[in-house]
Every structure is written in structure tokens, then in C-alpha cells.
Amino acid sequence: MEEHRFTTRMLRFGLQLLIPILLLLTSVWVILLTAGIWVPLEYRMPGFPPDRYGFTREDRVQWAGVDIKFLLGSEPISYFDNYRLDDSSPMHNERELVHMRDVKSLIDLTRWVWAGSVLLAAAFSYLLVRTSGREVASQAWQTGARWTAFLMLLLGVGLVLGFGVVFVGFHRLFFEGSSWIFPLSDTFIRLYPERFWRDTFVLVVLITGVLTAITYLVGRRSDRPAGRD
């Protein structure tokens, strides 16, 4: 009996820990896979800063599309050799290409982490239902959703009070040294100024919030005894 309770606690804790990761990475992948739709809309948002070095809105949409195709595809970094700006200079300089390669590696890693989270969450849920009942599994999903909501609340407050701190902290966590810092004249900054990243982080919080609410409500629904509405 004691061993059963210990196993149940471990499965519940593991599932609750996985849910914030799963929901956050799901929102990230929703954003990545729909980038071809929302990025052009982002450039059309009121107050979005113009490029001081001459990119038009159409230029930004075009070059951002090139980056998106690379990040979501399987092309090597030499893919960018085919793209040059109007002045015949490379689309991205060597420093930008190093960062682009790092970003692609991070995206590829998130794909595997997301897939692993899905499989583990499904396995833990199945084991909980089999060993302790649907109610226990449903409550674990609800608790995981609450943890996710709390994390998104913290992130949202951080974005409001100090986006720069959140942005720098993110890059220091996932990238080495100053490889992610570029002059304002580099294509990377011209395409993706601070406003772009601030809005992207907000989008992550909003989509994760929606997924969290759905997860919680489904968990509540599943928590009810059979035969009740």
C-alpha cells in the first residue's frame, strides 16, 4: 500500500511538472508554424518602428520569410548564400549566421523536448488512470495547469515591468557569450527590433494562457463522476 501511494505521488508530480513544459512548448510551436501569417501582420501593427536603414515593410516580410524557411526546414547554413540585399551584400553577415545556426539548433531541440513531453505526459496519465483512477489523473492535469498559469503570470509581470531583463535573461540562458548582440545596422536587428521580440513574448504568454485554460477546463470536466453533466 505504501509503495502504491509513493508511485502515485511520483506519477502525479511528474505529470504536473511536465504540463507547464508541454503547454509552453506547444504555444512556441504554434507560433513557429504560423510565423508566415503573423509576422507580416506584426510589421503592420500600429507604432511598429520603421527601419532607419531603408527596409520597406515589403522588404521585411520578404527577408523574414527567408529566415522562417531556414529555421523550419532542413537546409544547411549555406542556404543563405543564395540571398543578397539590394546593395549586393550578404543577407546575413558571419556573426548573424552563427546566431542563426544556434537558433535553429535550439528550435530542433525544442521539437524533441516537446515530443518527449507529449509521450511522457500520455504515459503518466495512463498509469495514473490504471493505478489510481481517472479522478487522480484529472486533478494532476488541473494542478499542472495552475502551475502553468502562475508561471505565465510571472512572465507577464516581467514583460510589463522589465522586458529588457527578461529578454537578456532568455538569451544568456540559451546562447553563449554575446553571440546574440548585434549592431543596429545588421539585418537581424533591422528585421527584428526589440518591439518584435516584446510582442512575440506577449504572444507566447497569451497562447499558453489559452491552452492552460482549455487544459484546466477539460481536467475539471474529466474529474466529474460518470453520469454527471
Which pLDDT belongs to residue 124? 95
pLDDT (tens digit per residue) in 162-192? 999 999 999 999 998 888 999 999 999 999 9
Q: What DSSP character marks residue 225?
A: P
DSSP alpha helix (H) spans, 133-193: 134-174, 187-191
pLDDT, mean of residues 61-71: 97
pLDDT, mean of residues 130-149: 93
Which residue in 22, 18, 224, 1 sits closest to 140, CA to CA?
18
pLDDT, mean of residues 45-59: 95
Decide: helix, strand or coil at residue 179: coil
Q: Which amino acid is at 98?
A: V
Report whether 222 contacts 173 (CB < 8 A). Answer: no
CA angle at residue 57 from 54 to 58, to 5 degrees? Answer: 105
pLDDT class of 220 with cuts at 50, 70, 90: confident
Q: Provide the grid cell at 147.
A: 502551475
What is the DSSP code string of 5-73? HHHHHHHHHHHHHHHHHHHHHHHHHHHHHTHHHHHHHHHTSTTPPPPTTS--HHHHHHHHHHHHHHHHS
* pLDDT score of 2 more than 70: no
Specify the higher pLDDT residue, 176 or 224.
176
* pLDDT score of 227 more than 50: no
pLDDT, mean of residues 55-72: 96
Which pLDDT belongs to residue 222? 74
